[in-house]
Amino acid sequence: MLKSMTGFGRAETSNEEFSCKVETRSVNNRFIDVHVKLPKFLSLLELPLKKLAKAKCARGSIDIHISLEKNSGENNRLEAVPDLEFASQYFGAISKIKESLNLTGQIDVNSILGIKEFIKFESPSLDEKYESLILSGTEKALEGLAQMRIVEGETLQIDIESLINFIRKNADIIKVRQPQVLSEYQEKLKERIKVLSDGLELDDSRLIQETAILADRSDISEELTRLDSHLKQFLELTSNANGPIGRKLEFIVQEINRETNTIGSKSNDFEISQAVIEVKSALEKIREQLQNIE
């Protein structure tokens, strides 16, 4: 079974204090590339989250977006923390200035509290109440993503196998047509020689020789055999897929295209040329589809 690299998954998890929302998206990529977007104070979870994604998907560019909120609606991203050390140093400096300059009056508390630097906004520390909630939600979202990739892959497989069977039909047309081409060439050659020789008797040995030369130059039996082998191998891989096979299929398509080009270059027959065009058109569609196969 083929798997697509396109998918989407979403999950929500919660406990008594927090709610976690996770969205995962994936598109095609030659390798596995995971991007995680989550609050800064949860950055330690980035590596475990990437490992989760790589365990579910072998190829693709995957985005994981995580949001965490308190059920009370309060902002849990930053916590206000007094910088007591800096405030103490500041107050000591003001006191020394007052004493050194013999200044009168009291130091105004309101003026000190108005200084923003005395209060720092820090991210809350990571603990198990966040970690288990986020990992659980991400795993569920990735399961949804993986399932969508399977469904998309089934659709792609039907389309690709249909195109492969279309190529096989055109290959059969070429097989049937090839001996007819030689027979027709022999007749045309015979007629041409009659015209040029003004109706004189033909040299059968010469006719046979010319036909043999054409047969040798346009022999595509080996190409057709290899083409048939590649098509069978392609269908076997798609039917028994177990893991990522997109690159293998791309390689087989290259080989199919190679044999098709050789057949086209060796043949001067219109019907065979038309069949070759149909095959190349189908191969181009398959190439596009394979760009999204894991």
Task: Say which CATH number the domain at 135 has.
Answer: 3.30.230.10
Check whether residue 226 and residue 264 sit in a common domain.
Answer: yes
Check whether residue 265 and residue 169 sit in a common domain.
Answer: yes
Check whether residue 166 and residue 260 sit in a common domain.
Answer: yes
- Residue 94, in any domain of the structure: yes
At 2, list the tokens.
């083929």
Q: What is the mean pLDDT of residues 196-225?
A: 66
**pLDDT at residue 215 greater than cutoff 60:** no
**pLDDT at residue 210 greater than cutoff 80:** no
Q: What angle do CA 17, 23, 27 make, to 5 degrees?
A: 165
The pLDDT tens digits for 12-38 are 998 887 889 999 999 999 999 999 998
Check whether residue 47 and residue 107 sit in a common domain.
Answer: no
Check whether residue 69 and residue 85 sit in a common domain.
Answer: no
Structurally, the chain folds into a number of domains equal to 3
Residue 266: pLDDT band with limits 50, 70, 90: confident
Check whether residue 169 and residue 220 sit in a common domain.
Answer: yes
Q: Which residues have a Cβ under 8 Å from the Cβ of 157 and sit 6 or more positions away?
A: 1, 2, 238
- Residue 2, in any domain of the structure: no
Residue 97: pLDDT band with limits 50, 70, 90: confident
- Residue 232, in any domain of the structure: yes
Range of weakest confidence among 55-64, 210-219, 238-247: 210-219
- Residue 239, in any domain of the structure: yes
Query: In which order are the strands placed within the sheet that holds 7-14?
Result: 7-14, 18-27, 60-70, 32-37
**pLDDT at residue 291 greater than cutoff 70:** yes
Please state, in angstroms and rounded to a whole number, the distance separating the CA atoms of residues 274 and 43. Answer: 59
Q: What is the mean pLDDT of residues 216-236?
A: 88
Check whether residue 275 and residue 234 sit in a common domain.
Answer: yes
Check whether residue 232 and residue 280 sit in a common domain.
Answer: yes
Strands 7-14 and 18-27: antiparallel
- Domain limits at 256? 154-290
**Residue 150: per-residue pLDDT:** 94
Which of these, 130, 117, 2, 124, lies nearest to 67 by C-alpha position?
130
- Residue 11, in any domain of the structure: yes
Check whether residue 261 and residue 170 sit in a common domain.
Answer: yes
Check whether residue 116 and residue 182 sit in a common domain.
Answer: no
Q: Are 57 and 36 in contact (CB under 8 A)?
A: no
Check whether residue 110 and residue 188 sit in a common domain.
Answer: no
Q: Which residues have a Cβ under 8 Å from the Cβ of 293 and sit 6 or more positions away?
A: 2, 3, 4, 5, 153, 156, 245, 246, 249
Residue carrying structure tokens 């299929």? 249
Looking at the chain, which runs of residues are DSSP E strands?
Answer: 7-14, 18-27, 32-37, 60-70, 79-82, 119-122
**Residue 91: per-residue pLDDT:** 77
Check whether residue 172 and residue 261 sit in a common domain.
Answer: yes
